[in-house]
Structure 1
Amino acid sequence: MHEAHTPVTVDRAPGIAGELALRRNGPHYEIISNGVFLMDTRDGTSERLLVSTALDHHIAPAHLLIGGLGVGFSLAEATTHPAAGTITVIEREPAVIAWHDTHLRPHSAGALDDPRVHLHRADLLTWLRTTTHTYDAICLDIDNGPDWTVTEGNAELYEPAGLALLTTRLTPHGTLAVWSAAASPAFEQRLRTRFTHVTTHPVPVPHGEPDLIYLARRPHP
């Protein structure tokens, strides 16, 4: 039987979309936004799969963009993948970045110290619109999925205009990977309209629907 723990808030900070809190629950940490659970350090299987499936189609050095630092599972996976070259991480919340110097550092496995990693504090949509970099793989994990965004503005990323913008930031054989806490048939259809090859990768969770990784390659001409 698992021992029950009382969650303890170890830090609070103002965020872009309201208050962020880091909460410890036994040996695990949870990130809470305006009282709503976002992510925790309990597993990380689907976050790692997000990166590994995106990079498995490439040979080194593949240039990778990760949208969202989170608790660090995706970044840690990227630094151990044999195909990874430069790794660009976009995270808009200063508090999340700061927690990786303290409580969350074990979960990102010190990956921010890797010389291939370039962390930018920025909004992902703004970054995509104001830079011209292209990537062999783009991994999105900034929301709980296309239908459950952290902020209203993020919804554009998953709409046709956002997918068109993401496509311009992919190399010709690039891969787009998107994490979701549940299936989104409408989003999958939009991906199929934009890309010739779309696959889904479910990851079972202890309760509720499986997490889902959407993988899209080969944009339509």
Structure 2
Amino acid sequence: MNPWVLLDQVEVPGSGGSMKLYQRAFEFSISVKNEELMNSRMHGSEDALAELACGRVRDREHPRVLIGGLGMGFTLRAALDHLGTNAYVVVAELVPAVVQWNRTHLAELAGNPLEDPRTLVRESDVALVIKEKAETYDAIMLDVDNGPDALTHAGNDRLYSHGGINAAKKALKPGGILGIWSAEPDTAFTKRLRGAGFKVEEVTVRARKTKGRRHTIWLAEKT
């Protein structure tokens, strides 16, 4: 078996620990604090997040979408594939190195989604981008960390707090969709979304489309 090769290593802003990019043959892995955060062989649930959220807004005139977390580009690629040419997709990524990896080592994995003219990359905390302007987005997708159980950056917790949920609701247009990916189900978080006035659907999807670990996606509609 081919050994893993370390391609790059950076520190996550805000004392989030060390983030490392590995390659083994045609497979890539990103780990944080020596725990694998994502693997290029398992992105079925990230694809599903974009497919489910964008499918609900793609018929709107000039849909505007915000993605929190670039990862390996799979959520962005799926969003672009499920939106028309009239869409506009903003990606907020906290770690600049992840953007650079997606332009170099990882570029071909998802078909160079950063080169799509509909894409705008913001090297920023998505929580700050969300708060910039009210009723801006038709959909907001959070593919940040491990979901409500934050792993890489303690500040990510505020995305999933009552304040973070209300900020996302304010940033959405009427009828907008807040889509959230999580490695695990979280009953308390579902209640938190409903308590904020969202109409909530919870979907279980596989990490590799039809097999692998089960992940959770929340689709919360601003009513």
TM-score normalised to structure 1 length: 0.90
How many Å apart are 1:56 and its aligned residue? Answer: 1.2
Q: Name the % identity.
A: 33
Residues 207/111 of structure 1: CA separation in 2 closer, same or farther (3 Å cut): closer
- Cα shift at 1:131: 4.3
State the Cα distance separating 1:32 from its structure 2 match: 1.3
- Structure-2 separation of matches of 1:204 and 1:100: 24
Equivalent positions of 1:17-166 (< 5 A) are 17-58=16-57, 59-60=59-60, 61-83=62-84, 85-132=87-134, 134-166=136-168
4+ runs deviating over 4 angstroms: 205-208
The gaps in structure 1 that reach 5 residues or longer are none
Contact 2:68–2:143, Cα closer than 8 Å, also in 1: yes
- Kept after mapping to 1: 8 A contact 2:8/2:21: yes
Q: Deviations over 1:49-104 (max 9, x none)?
A: 11111111121421100000000001111111134610000001111011112111
CA change 1:119–1:133 in 2 (3 A) is farther
- How many residues align? The count is 215
- Maintained 8 Å contact 2:93/2:122: yes
Q: Which string of whole-angstrom CA distances, capped at 9 and with x for unpartnered residues, describes residues 78-136 of structure 1? A: 11113461000000111101111211101231111111110010011122234456100
Matched residue type, 1:123: D
In the alignment, which residue of structure 2 is the partner of 1:216?
A: 220
- Quick one: which amino acid aligns to residue 165 of structure 2? L
Judge which range, 70-79 or 125-134, deviates more: 125-134
Q: 1:22 to 1:156 in 2, by over 3 A?
A: same
2-structure distance, mates of 1:148, 1:12? 20
In 2, the alpha carbon distance for the partners of 1:102 and 1:20 equals 17
**TM norm structure 2:** 0.90
Deviates more, 1:113-122 or 1:148-157: 148-157
